[in-house]
Structures are given as structure tokens and as C-alpha cells.
Structure 1
Amino acid sequence: MRNYLIILMLSAVSFQLHAQTFIQGKVTDRQTHEPLENAVIRQGREKSVLTDAQGNFRLSVRHPEDSLLISYVGYKPLCICAAQCCDDTACCTNGVCRRGIDLQLERQDIDLRTVTIVPAPHASFHTISQIDLRLRPVNSAQDLMRLVPGLFLGQHQGGGLAEHIFYRGFDADHGTDVNVSVDGVPVNLVSHIHGQGFADLHFLIPELVTHYDYGKGPYYAEYGDFTTAGYVAFRTADVLDRSEVKVEGGQFNSGRVMAKLDLLNAEALRRGQSAYLAGEAAYTDGPFDRAQHLRRLNLFGKYNTSIARTKLTVTLSAFESGWRSSGEIPQRAVGKGMIGQFGYIDSAQGGTTGRVTAILKARTDLTRGWLFENQAYYMHYYFTLHYDPTFFADDSVHGDQLRQQERRDIAGYNGRLSKHIYFDGGGDLQTAIGLGAQANWIGLSTLEHTVDQHVVLDTLQAGLPREYAMNGYVDENFHWGKWLVNGGLRLDWTGFRYLDYINPPAAGRAKLIASPKLNISYTCNNNLQFYLKLGKGYHSNDARVVIVQRGLDVLPAAYGADLGVNWKPVPGLIVNAAAWTLSLQQEFIYNADDGTMSPGGRTLRRGVDLSLRYQLTPWLFGNIDINYCRARDLQAAKGEDYLPLAVPFSSTGGVELKFRNGWNGALSYRYMIDRPANADNSLVARGYFVTDLTANYTRRKWEAGVEVQNLLNTTWREAQFETVSRMRGEAAPVDDISFTPGTPFFAKLKFGIFF
């Protein structure tokens, strides 16, 4: 009897497995025919899958009449059934199951009620990023970075230098602890003369960005160097949805012209070909007493074609910028009335920079469901900066003016082999194997003591840095029922050489580091998910420091953990909350003033992040991000263990309005509390509360608008540092706060035409 029961049970299970039908297809944008990654295909309340990078999906159903709902942020939901595809919500119940359905979604206004919580790695961040990119006004590359919840920027050299980044309790300098990439190519520059991981994003034209993604912490196998606080990845359009010409003009002699032009017709797009050119020219004098004369020129082009089973993409871009700067001014100079808020001490500050980039990418569909992606890139880059933060502290006669210069060539490769495997029982496995390499050939890199910018008094640092890196990783995502387990292992090897023109020669160094990752999520239903993230990451050191100061760690590690929840308590509200901790083996502070790295002890950061996105009406949206962090040096005495400029509490938020008659706009704020400027908190960097306003009237063929920065004309400081400086006439150097003032009330008009 017992044997009969066993046979009966096995037969029932076998019948259920064989009774299932697999629906597979591809989800694309109806207008551009581009695949939509992370579109949600949902069956009922319990079962859902996401599309992959190619827009493909596969889902098992039990009956031909089962209904499926396909949704994506900013697109009209589409309902299909196993029998046929239909454009309304009433699914057909007859017919034969269709396989390989081509599902084209049509764009529409965002509706948060259609957003679903799904069991996918890092899907919550992707959802928030797409909501913000489509709702919040973006007028510059800096606005793109500020979309990341909890990330703040500070500019301290006339608008032409890469912004200072503050994120998750890190004063990340210009990118030391935040991995930044565009179209898969790293933006962070290793062993940069002005700071390790220098990430200058001014080459990016904001109107070309169609996707951006971010992650907090060191939990992602795909991202390596500098991914301690997290990563930010931008992706430009492969296909333009329309051509556009835009003109902007405002206070402080500010102006900008942007154009993006589609070069091929609809017939070429149907054949898998597309091409466009884009350009940007901008100028401003800024609010400073000494006009900035900031100029910026960007050119960008992209071409796509399909050859057999391969999509080939070629991208070319060029960027050039120059500026004058008032630099950082001591707060005592303003307090004593020596200069105004927008005054200067040294008029000979400023710089030039530029880059030329070429990218070749091939994406090939292999047999048996494998996808093979290959990307090669080359970049030529140059940088010159004249700056003077200390004035007469070191040289009371000639002054302390400095000049940094470098040129470099970069070549790199990124490869990825991936496959999505579906099990008859209902689970699936996504597997990916990655391989990458980068070589930095840096020409003469110098730090010089100068007068009047070009007269060299002393060469403080000069040499030829070389840095080579290779990496490989395995990333596995196993999904079964309500559980998703993501495990990864990444290996990074970095080699350093430095031909020192001042000090005796030293041997090169190299190191290999392994970074395991583990992410687990449990999705209770379409409205509630819990997750745990564990991982190890690192940021590399500067080649000059590794070779000359051989006692410092080459690749100091970071260990992190996040415990969080994604929740939709009501249809129009999305909540992401997490408690986190991050420990660093050794903290480094790069002193760009004299080109040295200061080693620190072990550090610990703990915090809580909260993000809310809500829709009150079809035309009214809101967002708020709240971030708390406690950052300490574990090896310093109590009271002297503060991490300078680590932000204890910050918040951003706002409301967005989108009316069907064409009117749209936003009111937003940025808030940062006072924070320690040095280890014992005896110097304090002031916090600020700044509001911005945007209003537009948009029609099918044109748009007109106004943008107001600092609507309430708040007096604030954008960048602040502890600096030992000495002004002319002072008897001795003074340890003080030096700062760059934030933009006052600034309004500009814009007008664009679409065709």
C-alpha cells in the first residue's frame, strides 16, 4: 500500500511539472525598439520575473488562460495571456499559447500604483533610480549625481574641478570611495595628481542619460575598486526618441546651448541601425568677485548596428574645459571684513582639463541562451590646476601657490558571459562570469611651487606613475519561490610602478585581493520584502604612496552589512529602509596640497537610511531621503576620534507636479547638519538648507522653462576644509576653516524645440 501511495504522489508531481507551459518573450520600447531591462512580468499575486539586459523573460504558467501583467516605470502596463497578446485588461481565454512574444510598451506618465516589489537583486534601488530620473529635474551632470539618495556634492575650484563627494559617512574626496562609471567605462582615475579615484563627470551631457543605477556598500561583484561607500552607474541612450535643440541663459553671464540629432531614419532603426550626434557648449562667470570665465565644450556620438547575432556599438566623445577660481577663502578673512563672501585672496587660480574617449562594445547572443559581452575602450586625458589654499603659511615672501599637472592614456577591457537558466519546478538561476583589465600610462605627473602660475620656484613631486589592474568575478543569483540568494566572488590584482624624478628609485609593488559577496532577500508578497547584504570591498592606494611610503596598505579592505526592507504600505507609496555598518582596515586621507597620503587607523561607520517615494494624485509626487551616520576612528582616543567632514545627518526631498496640459515643475531641498571639520571637533563645518525651483511648459514640439537655484537666497558654504593658512600681514599661520561659498539666488530661462 505504501509503495502505491509513493507512486501516486510522484505521478501527481510529474503531472504538475509537465502541465506547466513556459511563456517567453522580449519587452521593448515601442518608440525606440530598445530592450527594457528589469521590466516586471507578473502572474497573479505570487509569481513574478524580471526581464534581463536584453529585455528577455521566461515564466511558467499552468493554463493557457492565465493572465500576465507587464509593467515598467514610466510605461503603460500591458496585459497578455498564454493564448494571445491583447492591449486591454480583459484577457482572451481561447487560442494557442504563443512563444517568443514581442511585447512593446508605450510610454506614459509615471504611476506608482503599478510598481511591484519583486525578488530580484538590488531591484529596489533600480526602481527608485528610474522614478527619480523621470520625475526630478536634471540640468547638469551634478544633478544626476544628486539623484542618488544621501549623496552630496561640493565644488571648491571654480566649477571646473571634479566635485567633492560625501556619501554614507565618507568624505570621499573626489571619488576615493564611490565607484562612478558611464556606459560601463570607469570614470574614477587611479593615482590622479589631485586625488585617488578622481571622478570628473563634466564630460557627460545630462540629456543623453536614459538610465542610472546605484548601490550602497561593497555588495556587488560587478563593481570593484572604489566601491566602499557604493557605486553610481550611468547609461546613455543607444537610440534617441527625438532630436532636440535647447538654449539656456541666466544671471552671472551664464549661457548654454545643447543639441542632439538623430542621423538615421525609421527604416534604418527597423534594420537594427541607429546613429546620433550631440553637443554642449556652456559658459558662466559665476557669482564671484573675480569672474570664473568657466567654459565647457562637449561632443558625443554613438552608432549601433546589428551583424548576425551581434549588436555592435561605437561611441566617441570629446570634452574640454577651462576656468578661473577664487579657491577656498579663510572664514576669518570674511569675518573681519577683509573680503566679501565671494571675494578672493589669490587671483592666480584656475585650470584646464579635457579628455577624448573611444568605446567599442559587442553584445553577442550565443547558442543555448548564453550572452557574451565584450567592451574595449581608450581614453586620452590631461589636467592642469593652479591653486593656493594656504597663501603665505610656508613661504612668507613668494606665497604658497601650487601647480598640479598630468597627462595620461588609458586602455581597458570589460568582458561578461551570462546565462539565465529556468527550472521546470519554477525556480531560476542567473549566472555571470566577468573579466576586466585596465592600464594607466601616466606621463610626467608634477606638483610644483609657483609664482604667477608659470614661474616655478620648486618641484615638490615629479615622476612617471604606472598602474595596471586585472579582475575577474563570478556572480550567481538563485531564485526559488519567495527566496533570492545572490552570491559572488571577485578577484582584483593591481600592480604599481613609479619612476621618481626626485627621490631614489624604488621597486614596484603588486597585490591580489579577494572580495566575497552574499545578498539574501525574502519577498513576502508584491508589497513587502526583507533583505540582508554582506560583502567585502576595497579602494586602491595611489601609486606614489605605494612605492615611496611602502608601509601603507596597497589595497585596504572594507567590510559591510545592510539589513533592510522594501515596502508598499499603500498603492502610491514606496518605502526603502536599511540599517547598515561599514568597517575599513585603514582610512586614508589624500592631502592634495602637498601630494602626500596620511595613513589612519581602523574606522567604523554605522547608520540608517530611509527613502520614500509617493504619489498623492495623478499629477502630484513627492520624495524624501533621510540619512544618519555615526563615523569614528577606532584607534583614536575618545573625543579625538571624529572622522573629518563625515556627515552625521542629512536629508533631501521635494515635490514634483506633472499636469496633462503641459505644465510641470518641482520644488526641492537639500539639508546637511553641522559636522566635524577635524578629529577633535574643535573646528566645525557649517550645515545648510538650500531650496531649488523648476517650472516648465511642455508641448509636443517645444518646451519653455525657468530654473531657480537657491530660491530663498540662503548664505551657505558648498565646500569647507580645515586648513592651516596665513594671509599677508599675519604674524603666524592659523588653523582655521577655509571654504568656497555656495551659489546665491540664481535664475535662468531655457527654451527647447523637439523634432
Structure 2
Amino acid sequence: MRHPHFTFWQHSFLTLTLTVGGLAHAAGMPTLQEVTVSSGQHDLTGVADSATEGTVTARQLTNRPLLRPAEALETVPGMIVTQHSGDGKANQYFLRGFNLDHGSDFASHVMGMPVNMASHAHGQGYMDLNFLIPELIGSIQYRKGVYAAEDGDFATTGSARIDYLRRLDQSFVELGMGQHNFRRLLAAGGHSLGDLNLVGAIEVGGYDGPWEQPQNLEKHNAVLRLTSGTAANGFALTGMVYKADWTATEHVPERAITGGEIGRYGALSPSDGGRTHRHSLAGDWARTTNTGASKLNLYVIDYGLNYFANPSGYINSLQGDQHEQADDRTLWGGQVKHSWFLGPQWQDTELSLGTQFRQDRIASVGLYATENRQRTNTIREDRIRQTALAVLLEARTQWTAWLRSTLGLRRDQIDARVTPLAGQFNMSNGGDASAGQTSPKLGLVFGPFDLLGPTEFYANWGHGFHSNDARGATARSNPQDGSAVEAVPLIVKAKGSELGLRTTPLKGWQSSLSVWQMALASELVFIGDEGITEPKGASRRHGIEWSNYITPADGWIIDADIAWSQARFKEANPDNGGRRVPNAIPLTASLGLSADSGGTWFGGLRLRYLGAYALEEAGEQKSSAFWMASLKAGYRITPKLQITLDVLNLFDKKANDIEYWGGACTRNEALAGTGGCGTGSGIDGRLLHPLEPRTLRLGLRASF
């Protein structure tokens, strides 16, 4: 009997071979690679270390219709960004057969600052990108997989590094208005004095949404950035202030809608939602010479969240089961890295050595029972100090004209101390937890070869990890009822590999194809709603991705990608015998068109497809597949004055942003005592959060 992994790679290699030999037009470089490709049409050397990394430019984001700021990450091929609550909460992310929840397996950084929160009140790796101002994004550098030494915690499926513009050529004021009481004012200005550039922006806005219970989102955002030189030779100092308040319409049982208890956009709880803030200061410095390069960045972040939710409805009482998750922390850290360019005598090797440090000082992280946002009981409250230190070593070597390699080694150490502060059954928890991992990385690049266009082949392999919540690693009892629980590891190991290729088959057309696999030691997840860690077992995933980026004429961009994956637990669920990983989307696709030649008219169109995914391990319950489109159209009244119209969900698709399967109760069911509702039992069924209907937004921008 053949080993299943061997069979998979045999099939993968055959697929790649046939693609190059007979279907070369489907081979190649990843979507959105414009700035990573050299100007010479036949020079790909040094472009990238894998087939699934790239850089997104500001120009590629300009004409992209966005419902939410975090949708800027959908420029990463295969990434899906949705929401199951209010717009002040972190989004839901999906990539490579992972339900990333709110960010547990994808690491993002903004101007060198980590966004993922460790040991967070709502969930491990919580990645709230609602503070982004898309108009200020200068670039998004993304990688997939665990192959880069620079990527550590949470970078299981990959990472993204978002950088704002270092200078603003034109200051502007933009006023946005739209349906459902959408309003937004953005004022951004820039000033240069010699080599110093100052960029500042203020954003205020609000949105009620289509919900029967208005969202009442109030958002305030500000950025001030001082830069000099470039990212390779210069410095930047960035201050950011963000806060938001909102009322949420959570996911609800489908039967509450179909049974007429609430409307399609109705809510079961009148006071869900929350408030959050993020204040930060970051600085980075870089210097590059003919013999080496040095980089340094430091940051400090003040963060807080008070989130109120009633996701199970009325299981335990007619008052509902609302709870508050609260997080109050300061985190600080940085990275220093130096690279040596060793020259021809050492095969033009670039040798890099660096260290990363991060400390989360969490003054209070808690779970509380509430009614109408008033605390009635403390389930658990803890103080946490968590420190992460990493050392990384990487060597890139050009062995021949057609072979280069990247060899990396990373050592991580995480130490945490959890101190219980309150909670009847929580005081026996807490203590110290510590874990470390050494992660080797290897990448090989073959080419460029002239196969109906310059083509490179990639092979990547590596180890990575994501951390678990420190409270789960120090747990002894369930804070809900005092029953004994088993502590879980502080680090979950991951191992991945990938074969890929990228090519430029025609002028203006870049394409990539890759096959990959990933093994995760455990799907352990900290459940913020319950204050415990839920074990899910080891898992295996594999998939195929094809991405394209085409510039058929000046000012025109077409990007298209399709991704298929399969996610399975290593062992079957004993209750239903199933091995499927719930909410792992097996098939996604997107198609985008952007047009802006500098004339009077400009705009963009995007289509996105989400395939049906299993809602539980047996796969008997599945979501509904759907596609949707969004449009942006713009008109320049004068060179300094323009008007835009965004039509989100262009064809008014009736679908769901997210679907789950689980136990919940509606108010009517609790009143009737149906299925034990109101007395501690829920009714299993489909839980959903509907896609927002067609929405029009008008923008007016004046530049000066």
C-alpha cells in the first residue's frame, strides 16, 4: 500500500509537469506581483523565495470596493474576510483550508507592530484590523506557509506586513455617505521639508448597517507619521490612535428567521456589541550599503476591549446568556536584524541574523456574566505577563545561474505567568508556563528557464507554530463549574511543504501555480465564550492554488485566483465518525478588474466565490455556496475634485457571511421550554449571519 503523502506529492509533481509542458499559460507568478518583478522581461532572479509570496501596491488598492477595512487582506490570493458580529469586532478570516477564526493562524503586522493578540479575552491570535485606513496603505507584503525565518507565532498559514505611505504627494479631504446611515470623513495631509516627510490623517465615521437593531458604530481614527528616506535607507516614526463603539447583531439560529420570530436582519439580544481602543507608537530605522543591511524597529501598544455577546441565546434563562469579555493590556517589543552581503567568493550569499522580542503585560483579562451590559457574576479574571523571544538565522545563496537556496533556522521561547484575580472556580488556576521550539526552513529555486516565457520552480519546506492561550496552559479547573480540566501545551507545532512555479508567459501576464500540504499537531482553541481551552485533535491539509495578474494595457489590471483545499482531522470524531474540519472552505475564487488611465473615468469590479463547507465533522451539514460582486465607479470633475460610487453586493445576493452548526435557543423557544431551552440545553441547528444587501456609498474627494 502506498503512503498517502507520497501519493499526494506524486500527483502534485505530475500536475506541475503537465502544466509547464502542455499548459504553460497556467503556470507562474502569484497575483499582485507587480513591484516584485524586475523591469527586464527575462530576469526573474532574486524575485522571491516561494511561489506564494508577493507585494500589493497602493495602486492596486485604489479602485478596489471595500465594505470593511480588513478586506484589504483579500488582495492575498485565496484569503476570505467576513464578519459574524458588529463592525467594531475583529473580522473572520479563511485561508488554505483554515477557519482562522479572528486570526489564530495568520500573522499580520502594521508598520512593524504585531496585530494578533496572545492570550486574548475573545480568542487566541485576535487580529482586529478595523483601525486600518486603506487610502494610506503603501504596500502589503505577504507570504504563505511556514518557510520564512522572519515569521514566528501565528504564521501557520502565512503572514502579511502592511506599511503606510512614507509621503503624501497631495493632501485631500474625502466625504463619504451611503445607505444605512453610513458616513465617513477622512482628512489626510502631507508636508515635506528637505528629506523629512510628515503625513497625518484623521478619520471619523459611523454606520448603522441593514440590521433591524441599528449598529450605531462610532469610529475615531488618527495617524501621524514622520519619515526620512526609504524603507531600505531611512527611518519612520508613527503614532496611531483608534477607538470604536458599536451595537452588534450576532449570528442567530436560522429557525428564528424562517419561523418568523425575527426578520432576516433581526437580532435576538438588544445589547450585544462593545467598545475597543488601540493606541500605539512605533519607530523603525534601516541602513543598506554594498556590504550589508541593518534594520531596527520598536513599538509600544495600549489596547483594550469590552465585548458583550449572547451567542447561545436563551439556553440557561429567559434573561439570555450574555457575557462580557474584557481585555486591558500594554504590549511592547521590537526586532533587530543585520544582513551581510558576502560577495562572489561566497556565491553571493546574503547571511542574516536577527532577534525579536515581545512582551504582553495584561493587567486584566476576564469573562463575566452580564445582563444588558451590567456584570452579574465574575466567571474568571486573570492577570497575565507573557514574554516571547526569538532568534533567527537565514542564508540566501545563488549557487548557479539557475539555482538559489534559502536556508533558515528560528528558535522561539515563550514564558507566561497567569495570576488569578477573581472567579469562584478560577482561583485554583494560574501559575507559570513555558515552551520553546526550533524551526528549520528550506527553500530552493530553479531557474529562470525560458518555457514560453521566463519561468522559475520552487520547493519549500519548514516548521512553524502558533501559541495557545496561557490560561489553557495553566488550567486545573473549569471556571464555569469547577470540574477538573487538563492543561494544554503552550505551543502547537506545524509542518508544511510546497511545490510551485511562476512564469511570465506573455508580456503583462504573471501567473503562479502551487501545491502544498500542512500538518498541525492540534486544533486546540481557547473559547473566550466559556473561558476554557477546547481540544480538537491533530489535522492534515493539502491544496492547489493558481493566481494570475495581468496588465493588458496602461492603467488596466486584471487579477484572478482560484484555491482548492482539503482539511481533515487525523482521527475521527467519536460522536459522529467524521474527520472534516468544520468551517474549512474547500474552494474559493476571485476575479478583479481595475481601470484608471488617468482620464475622466476610473473604477473597479470584483467577483468573489465561496464554495460550500462542512459545518460539522461528518459533513452532513454544509453551508450554501455563493458568489457576489462589488463595483466602484469614479469620475474626475477636475484634476483636484472627484466623485466615486461604490455598489457593494452589486446583484443583491441573498447569502450568509458565515454559517455555523451548534446549540442555541431563541426567546420563543425559551418561553415554551422547547428542547430544554431556558433550563440549560440548546437545540442543535444552523447558525448564520446574513450577507449585507446591496449597499450604495457615495464619496467626494477634494485634493490640494
Using the size of structure 1 for normalisation, the TM-score is 0.81
Which residue number corresponds to residue 414 of structure 2? 494
Following the alignment from structure 2 to structure 1, what is the Cα–Cα distance between the partners of residues 435 and 331?
20
Check 1:508–1:684 CA distance in 2 against 1; reply closer, same or farther (3 A cut): same
Structure 1 counterpart of 2:341, one-letter code: H
Say what the alpha-carbon RMSD is for the aligned residues.
2.4
Which residue number corresponds to residue 197 of structure 1? 125
Matched, 1:164 2:92: yes
State which drifts further: 326-335 or 395-404: 395-404
Which residue number corresponds to residue 360 of structure 2? 440
State the SS of the aligned residue for 1:333.
helix
Following the alignment from structure 2 to structure 1, what is the Cα–Cα distance between the partners of residues 118 and 565?
27
CA contact (8 A) 2:35 2:55 kept: no
Which residue number corresponds to residue 578 of structure 1? 514
Stretches of 4+ aligned residues off by more than 6 angstroms:
74-78
Which residue number corresponds to residue 311 of structure 1? 234
Following the alignment from structure 2 to structure 1, what is the Cα–Cα distance between the partners of residues 78 and 34?
22
Following the alignment from structure 2 to structure 1, what is the Cα–Cα distance between the partners of residues 70 and 653?
20
The residue correspondences of 1:113-128 to structure 2 (distance < 5 A) are 117-122=44-49, 125=52
Following the alignment from structure 1 to structure 2, what is the Cα–Cα distance between the partners of residues 495 and 729?
47
Check 1:646–1:477 CA distance in 2 against 1; reply closer, same or farther (3 A cut): same
Offset of 1:74 from its aligned partner? 7.0
CA contact (8 A) 1:329 1:345 kept: yes
Which residue number corresponds to residue 6 of structure 2? none
For structure 1, list consecutive stretches of 5 or more residues without a partner in the other structure: 1-71, 79-112
The residue correspondences of 1:626-637 to structure 2 (distance < 5 A) are 626-636=562-572
Matched, 1:652 2:590: yes
Matched, 1:514 2:514: no
CA contact (8 A) 2:544 2:564 kept: yes
Following the alignment from structure 2 to structure 1, what is the Cα–Cα distance between the partners of residues 37 and 276?
43
Following the alignment from structure 1 to structure 2, what is the Cα–Cα distance between the partners of residues 448 and 402?
5
RCO comparison, higher one (Cα < 8 Å, 6+): 2
Matched, 1:152 2:80: yes
Matched, 1:565 2:485: no
Which residue number corresponds to residue 390 of structure 1? 312
Which residue number corresponds to residue 352 of structure 1? 275
Following the alignment from structure 1 to structure 2, what is the Cα–Cα distance between the partners of residues 326 and 739?
11
State which drifts further: 166-175 or 372-381: 372-381
The residue correspondences of 1:234-313 to structure 2 (distance < 5 A) are 234-264=162-192, 268-269=193-194, 272-305=195-228, 311-313=234-236
Structure 2 counterpart of 1:746, one-letter code: T
Structure 2 counterpart of 1:446, one-letter code: G
Following the alignment from structure 2 to structure 1, what is the Cα–Cα distance between the partners of residues 490 and 286?
35
Following the alignment from structure 1 to structure 2, what is the Cα–Cα distance between the partners of residues 192 and 506?
15
Offset of 1:135 from its aligned partner? 6.7
CA contact (8 A) 2:36 2:54 kept: no
Following the alignment from structure 1 to structure 2, what is the Cα–Cα distance between the partners of residues 572 and 754?
31
CA contact (8 A) 1:119 1:522 kept: no
Structure 2 counterpart of 1:704, one-letter code: I
Check 1:199–1:473 CA distance in 2 against 1; reply closer, same or farther (3 A cut): same
Check 1:166–1:126 CA distance in 2 against 1; reply closer, same or farther (3 A cut): closer
1:222 is aligned, of 150, 155, 172, to 150
Check 1:554–1:584 CA distance in 2 against 1; reply closer, same or farther (3 A cut): same
State the SS of the aligned residue for 1:467.
strand
State which drifts further: 674-683 or 708-717: 674-683
State the SS of the aligned residue for 1:142.
helix
Which residue number corresponds to residue 454 of structure 2? 527
Using the size of structure 2 for normalisation, the TM-score is 0.87
Offset of 1:486 from its aligned partner? 0.5
For structure 2, list consecutive stretches of 5 or more residues without a partner in the other structure: 1-32, 477-485, 676-681
Check 1:633–1:119 CA distance in 2 against 1; reply closer, same or farther (3 A cut): same
1:485 is aligned, of 381, 405, 417, to 405
Following the alignment from structure 1 to structure 2, what is the Cα–Cα distance between the partners of residues 74 and 312?
21
Offset of 1:123 from its aligned partner? 7.1
Which residue number corresponds to residue 684 of structure 2? 735
Following the alignment from structure 2 to structure 1, what is the Cα–Cα distance between the partners of residues 247 and 577?
39
State the SS of the aligned residue for 1:334.
helix
Matched, 1:680 2:600: no
Check 1:686–1:466 CA distance in 2 against 1; reply closer, same or farther (3 A cut): farther
Cα deviation digits, residues 89-110 of structure 1 (max 9, x gap): xxxxxxxxxxxxxxxxxxxxxx
Structure 1 counterpart of 2:372, one-letter code: D
State the SS of the aligned residue for 2:668.
coil
Structure 1 counterpart of 2:590, one-letter code: T
CA contact (8 A) 1:227 1:538 kept: yes
Check 1:179–1:236 CA distance in 2 against 1; reply closer, same or farther (3 A cut): same
Matched, 1:377 2:299: yes
Following the alignment from structure 2 to structure 1, what is the Cα–Cα distance between the partners of residues 170 and 69?
21
CA contact (8 A) 2:64 2:606 kept: no
Check 1:306–1:574 CA distance in 2 against 1; reply closer, same or farther (3 A cut): closer
State the SS of the aligned residue for 2:71.
helix
Cα deviation digits, residues 169-212 of structure 1 (max 9, x gap): 00111010000111111110100000100011111211111111
Structure 1 counterpart of 2:410, one-letter code: R
CA contact (8 A) 2:124 2:526 kept: yes
Following the alignment from structure 1 to structure 2, what is the Cα–Cα distance between the partners of residues 142 and 369?
38
Which residue number corresponds to residue 15 of structure 2? none
Offset of 1:128 from its aligned partner? 6.0
Which residue number corresponds to residue 652 of structure 2? 713
Structure 1 counterpart of 2:296, one-letter code: N
Offset of 1:617 from its aligned partner? 3.9
Offset of 1:156 from its aligned partner? 1.6
CA contact (8 A) 1:677 1:721 kept: yes
Offset of 1:242 from its aligned partner? 2.1
Offset of 1:396 from its aligned partner? 2.3
Check 1:123–1:363 CA distance in 2 against 1; reply closer, same or farther (3 A cut): same
State which drifts further: 518-527 or 401-410: 518-527
Structure 2 counterpart of 1:396, one-letter code: S
Check 1:363–1:522 CA distance in 2 against 1; reply closer, same or farther (3 A cut): same
Offset of 1:685 from its aligned partner? 2.3
1:407 is aligned, of 315, 328, 332, to 328
Offset of 1:507 from its aligned partner? 2.9
State which drifts further: 326-335 or 541-550: 541-550
Offset of 1:551 from its aligned partner? 3.6
State which drifts further: 497-506 or 333-342: 497-506
Following the alignment from structure 2 to structure 1, what is the Cα–Cα distance between the partners of residues 183 and 62?
24
Following the alignment from structure 1 to structure 2, what is the Cα–Cα distance between the partners of residues 470 and 386?
33
1:625 is aligned, of 561, 575, 579, to 561
CA contact (8 A) 1:145 1:151 kept: yes
Structure 1 counterpart of 2:179, one-letter code: Q
Check 1:259–1:218 CA distance in 2 against 1; reply closer, same or farther (3 A cut): same
Following the alignment from structure 2 to structure 1, what is the Cα–Cα distance between the partners of residues 299 and 198?
19
Following the alignment from structure 2 to structure 1, what is the Cα–Cα distance between the partners of residues 469 and 383?
12
Structure 2 counterpart of 1:212, one-letter code: I
Following the alignment from structure 2 to structure 1, what is the Cα–Cα distance between the partners of residues 36 and 201?
26
Cα deviation digits, residues 301-343 of structure 1 (max 9, x gap): 1112479x98332111100101001111110111111111100
Which residue number corresponds to residue 103 of structure 2? 175
Check 1:75–1:182 CA distance in 2 against 1; reply closer, same or farther (3 A cut): closer
1:600 is aligned, of 536, 540, 563, to 536
Offset of 1:654 from its aligned partner? 2.3
Which residue number corresponds to residue 554 of structure 1? 490
Following the alignment from structure 1 to structure 2, what is the Cα–Cα distance between the partners of residues 341 and 115?
54
Check 1:76–1:721 CA distance in 2 against 1; reply closer, same or farther (3 A cut): closer
